[in-house]
Structure 1
Amino acid sequence: MQNSILRTAAKKDLPAILQLQKLCYLSEAAIYNDDTIEPLTQTIEDLYRSFDNGELFLIAVCNDQITGSVRGVVKKSTGHINKLIVAPSFQNKGIGKQLMTAIETQLAPVNRYELFTGHKSEKNLYLYQKLNYTIYQTRKIHDGLSLVFLEKPGSPLC
């Protein structure tokens, strides 16, 4: 993993996370021919609000640079995972998988984990299915975009 360290993000990390998010989602915007997708229009105030409301932000750091991030929150015994991002030059090195494993561990115990991605996002779908997520719903957003919802069982306390 190129000596990346995973840790919980601090509030001071949010601007760098947002900058990386916007870089990482440019490829998604190109796939869907839509530069108005939420990860590109999200503001720093939105991230501060999510952070202050208890959303967990994990980051991967290499040489003092944030190279990846993922977020999650537990609602009604479900761990909702979102915004898995890895800097383009650090992709395909296991960082995404390690971030996913870490966020699942941090959100546990839960009955299940849930996430979503776009229907044309083949790399994302491949990774999530490799991590034992299964598709349970597809929701059409507009002609060019459907969201694919995936889930996997969690490890509840009882």
Structure 2
Amino acid sequence: MGKIVEATVNDTCHILNLQKLAYVSEAEIYNDYTIMPLKEDLETAKKSFEKNIVLKYVEDDVIIGSVRAFQEDGVCYINKLMVHPACRNRGIGQALMEEIEVKFDPVVYRLFTGAKSEKNIFLYEKLGYSVYRTGKFDFEDTEFVFMEKEQRPV
């Protein structure tokens, strides 16, 4: 059984290696190995700790999952959810999502994923997210779905 804890900048190298491994399956869907998560370098990944809360899922002292998020103007932007390919379909991605959401005040949560990434979209819909638009970024040819959910105060 693993645990979710907040990552530190000292975890960057391990998380970046996991990211490159985890996002190969996304690149395969689009037949595009130039997607941003595969091109991110160590300095950019380290810099993400300045703005984001980064969580890691650790099992037997190995990071096998991670997610990042930051809040701006009442919106929590969740990004870089990843799980080691050999550890998928065990609820780790869902657990990371649920944990990152509680790190922020009741807000609107937003994220994006590839429009052909059916498993990702299924997970996010299961967690209450819905598509509010589709589109592309200037730096990539991938068509994305942008999803959100509103967290209501309890």
TM-score (norm 2): 0.94
Unaligned segments of structure 1, at least 5 residues: none
* Matched AA of 1:68: G
Give the aligned partner of residue 10 of structure 1: 8
* Matched AA of 1:14: T
Distance 1:13 1:131 in 2: 27
Superposed CA deviations along residues 44-91 of structure 1, whole A, max 9, x for unmatched, are: 10011111x231100000000001000000011000000100011111
Per-residue deviation, 1:10: 1.2
- Show the 5 A alignment for 1:72-151: 72-110=69-107, 112-141=108-137, 145-151=142-148
Per-residue deviation, 1:156: 5.4
Is the 1:134–1:150 Cα contact (8 Å) retained in structure 2?
yes
Give the aligned partner of residue 40 of structure 2: 42
Is the 1:5–1:62 Cα contact (8 Å) retained in structure 2?
yes
Is the 1:108–1:155 Cα contact (8 Å) retained in structure 2?
no
- Show the 5 A alignment for 1:59-78: 59-78=56-75
> After the TM superposition, which segments of 4 or more aligned residues of structure 1 sit over 3 Å from their partners?
140-144
Aligned with residue 152 of structure 1, among 126, 137, 149 = 149
Unaligned segments of structure 2, at least 5 residues: none
Distance 2:147 2:119 in 1: 14
* Matched AA of 1:87: H
Distance 2:133 2:2 in 1: 34
Instruction: Pick closer, same or farther for the CA change 1:141–1:49 going to 2, 3 Å.
Output: closer
* Matched AA of 2:92: I
Q: SS in structure 2 opposite 1:84?
A: strand
Say what the alpha-carbon RMSD is for the aligned residues. Answer: 1.7
Instruction: Pick closer, same or farther for the CA change 1:33–1:141 going to 2, 3 Å.
Output: farther
Distance 2:41 2:48 in 1: 11
Give the aligned partner of residue 51 of structure 2: 54
Count of residues in correspondence between the two structures: 153
Identity %: 46
